[in-house]
């Protein structure tokens, strides 16, 4: 009887598996089509001002207008290789580079630390995009080098809610020189602190502090870091989540000189959650251990 039950179970699973895969693929394709439509609609509503990065924002695949800022900057590059890299790419649909994969047909590498998420996304991954599973840390950074086509991609996006600073440092030490670099910052640290969390190879935002505010890098910390590598700060997005930096040598000098972005914006989602600003948010985590970015 036990063997019969096991046989029935395996038979049912063999029937349902391809059905579930097909349903997942249809769902993913629907999300891509929705994102493309949203990108088209929001892009058309913009009134572009060449010196005002916030006016470039639109959102299709990204959450906070990053699609528009990155799209505008990429079109201003003196020379493009139409290649991107993203660490923290989720399932390849809701992130900072999916617009370039599905909308503009760039090639690229997307890396995500959650295996199930990657498996789900590979069903509809763009043919020129590698979506790979890797929880990036100091010990496996060489894997990124092995998978990469260009070390000077048009766009590099880094958003892993934790060891971002340490991974960015390793990226430059490995010889990468992205033309446009977008990173997440933590507005709870305020506009002037130059700090980040202490490195933990198994960093998990949910487990580090009950508020989930102990993560990532302050905006001034990022400015210090990128300035040390000869990059120019462009702006933060209007929802206070991402900061964008560029290698000025990859753009026309007059374009770079006249940029007037936002220096700091509070994270809208954190404000909504806590109902108070960064000063009180920081009070909740100020006793945690930090590393100062010089």
Distance CA 272, CA 131 (A): 32
Cα–Cα nearest to 286, from 195, 223, 220: 195
Phi first, then psi: what are they for 129, rounded to 5°? -115, 130
Structure tokens at 247: 């290698």
Beta-ladder partners of 291:
196
Task: Give the H or E element holding residue 168.
Answer: helix 164-173
pLDDT tier at 20, thresholds 50, 70, 90 = low
Check whether 138 has a pLDDT greater than 90.
no
Spatial contact of 213 and 284, defined as CB atoms under 8 Å apart: yes
Check whether 10 has a pLDDT greater than 80.
no
- Give the per-residue pLDDT at 2: 59
* Cα three-residue angle 34-94-27, rounded to 5 degrees: 50
Distance CA 127, CA 108 (A): 10
pTM, rounded to two decimals: 0.90
Q: What is the pLDDT of residues 168-189, one digit of tens each?
A: 999 999 999 999 999 999 999 9
Phi first, then psi: what are they for 119, rounded to 5°? -60, -40
Distance CA 57, CA 42 (A): 8
What's the fold here for domain 2-292?
A: Rossmann fold (3.40.50)
- Give the per-residue pLDDT at 124: 64
Structure tokens at 158: 């880094």
- Give the per-residue pLDDT at 285: 97
Q: What residue spans define the domains of the chain?
A: 2-292
- Give the per-residue pLDDT at 215: 97
Would you list the DSSP string of 190-211?
TTT--EEEPP-TT--HHHH-TT
Size of the chain in residues = 294
- State the sign of the Cα–Cα–Cα–Cα dihedral 136, 133, 216, 151: positive
Q: What is the pLDDT of residues 241-253, one digit of tens each?
A: 999 999 999 999 9
How far from 125 is each of 80, 108, 117, 132, 200, CA to CA, in Å? 22, 11, 12, 10, 30
Mean pLDDT, to the nearest integer, of 285-294? Answer: 96
Distance CA 115, CA 90 (A): 10
Report helix angle 219-228 to 164-173, nearest 10.
10
Instruction: Give the SS3 label for residue 290.
Output: strand
């Amino acid at each position: 009887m036990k063997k019969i039950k096991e046989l029935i179970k395996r038979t049912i699973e063999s029937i349902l598996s391809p059905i579930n895969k097909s349903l997942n693929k249809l769902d993913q394709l629907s999300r891509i089509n929705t994102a493309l439509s949203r990108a088209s609609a929001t892009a058309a509503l913009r009134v572009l001002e060449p010196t005002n990065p916030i006016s470039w924002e639109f959102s299709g695949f990204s959450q906070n207008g990053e699609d528009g800022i990155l799209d505008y900057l990429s079109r201003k590059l003196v020379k493009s290789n139409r290649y991107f890299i993203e660490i923290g790419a989720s399932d390849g649909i809701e992130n900072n580079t999916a617009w370039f994969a599905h909308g503009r047909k760039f090639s690229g590498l997307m890396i995500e630390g959650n295996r199930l998420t990657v498996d789900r996304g590979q069903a509809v991954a763009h043919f020129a995009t590698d979506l790979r599973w890797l929880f990036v840390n100091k010990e496996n950074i060489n894997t990124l080098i092995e998978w990469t086509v260009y070390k000077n991609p048009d766009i590099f996006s880094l958003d892993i809610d934790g060891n971002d600073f340490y991974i960015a440092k390793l990226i430059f030490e490995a010889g990468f020189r992205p033309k446009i670099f977008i990173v997440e910052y933590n507005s709870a640290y305020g506009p002037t602190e130059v700090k980040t969390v202490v490195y933990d190879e198994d960093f998990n935002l949910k487990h580090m502090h009950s508020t989930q505010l102990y993560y990532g890098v302050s905006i001034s910390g990022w400015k210090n870091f990128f300035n040390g590598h000869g990059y120019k700060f462009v702006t933060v997005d209007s929802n206070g989540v991402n900061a964008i930096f560029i290698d000025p040598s990859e753009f026309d000098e007059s374009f770079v000189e006249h940029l007037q972005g936002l220096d700091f914006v509070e994270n809208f989602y954190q404000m909504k959650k806590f109902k108070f600003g960064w000063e009180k948010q920081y009070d909740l985590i100020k006793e945690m251990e930090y590393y100062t970015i010089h």
